[in-house]
């Protein structure tokens, strides 16, 4: 058994929080608030989840959860605008107002709304959020969050998690060098 960290509270939780003190870490702890609800004779219940569960706090676990969801829940839908040069195969879901130009998409893949994908290979087990832009890029077994951009990358991207509004592109200047702006708790692997 594990605590999956999903809670549903009534407004009574606010009074419980008002009645607790910070822990030795200096924080108001959720477990203390729940205990205060119990002490105040409020109804507190737990539910045992059926099926699989993964702690998606790490990249590899999030990618595995993405794989499982794409394997078990993906429905085929091609609502986007797909040109005649593009090749779509397997279970692929493309949301509305997304444009696919001269690209190959091999499912299972889901692509959100209002995306632009041009001259790309989108490989199996990839989820692309709304408003993403991919131009001259190859990507597989990855997750791109909303408004991410991958522009003219000359290497295949695999097993990656690209955050909201993140932008990856090749630098046009010489000498060639790697330039990064990397957020907190990030991990960069150069192969």
pLDDT of res. 131 = 98
How far apart, in whole angstroms, are the C-alpha atoms of residue 32 and residue 182? 35
Instruction: State both tokens at 20.
Output: 């607790």
SS3 of residue 78 by DSSP: strand
In which residue are the tokens 């993405």 written? 66
| Ranges 60-74, 84-98, 148-162, 166-180: which has the least confidence | 166-180
Mean pLDDT along residues 111-115: 98
* Cα dihedral across residues 96, 101, 106, 109: positive or negative: negative
pTM of the model: 0.75
Mean pLDDT along residues 166-172: 82
Instruction: State both tokens at 98.
Output: 């997304």
| Ranges 35-44, 50-59, 157-166: which has the least confidence | 50-59
- For the segment 132-163, what is each residue's pLDDT rounded down to a tens digit? 999 999 999 999 999 999 999 888 999 999 98
Share of the chain above pLDDT 70, in %: 95
Q: Which residues pair with 93 in a beta bridge?
A: 77, 110
Q: Is the pLDDT of residue 178 over 80?
A: no
Question: What are the structural domains, with CATH classification, of the chain?
Answer: 8-47 (no CATH), 71-169 (2.160.10.10)
Compute, in degrees rounded to 10, the torsion defined by CA atoms 112, 114, 119, 125.
0
């Amino acid at each position: 058994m594990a605590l999956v960290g999903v809670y549903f509270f009534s407004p009574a939780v606010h009074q419980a929080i008002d009645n607790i003190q910070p822990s030795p870490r200096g924080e108001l702890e959720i477990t203390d608030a729940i205990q205060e609800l119990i002490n105040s004779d409020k109804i507190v219940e737990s539910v045992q989840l059926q099926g699989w569960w993964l702690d998606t706090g790490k990249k590899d676990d999030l990618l595995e959860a993405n794989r499982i969801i794409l394997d078990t829940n993906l429905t085929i839908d091609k609502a986007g605008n797909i040109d005649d040069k593009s090749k779509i195969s397997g279970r692929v879901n493309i949301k509305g107002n997304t444009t696919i130009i001269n690209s190959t998409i091999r499912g299972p893949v889901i692509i959100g709304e209002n995306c632009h994908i041009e001259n790309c290979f989108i490989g199996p087990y990839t989820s692309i959020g709304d408003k993403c832009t991919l131009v001259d890029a190859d990507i597989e077994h990855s997750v791109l969050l909303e408004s991410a951009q991958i522009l003219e990358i000359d290497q295949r991207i695999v097993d990656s998690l690209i955050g909201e509004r993140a932008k990856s592109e090749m630098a046009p200047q010489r000498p060639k060098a790697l330039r990064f702006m990397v957020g907190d708790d990030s991990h960069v692997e150069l192969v």
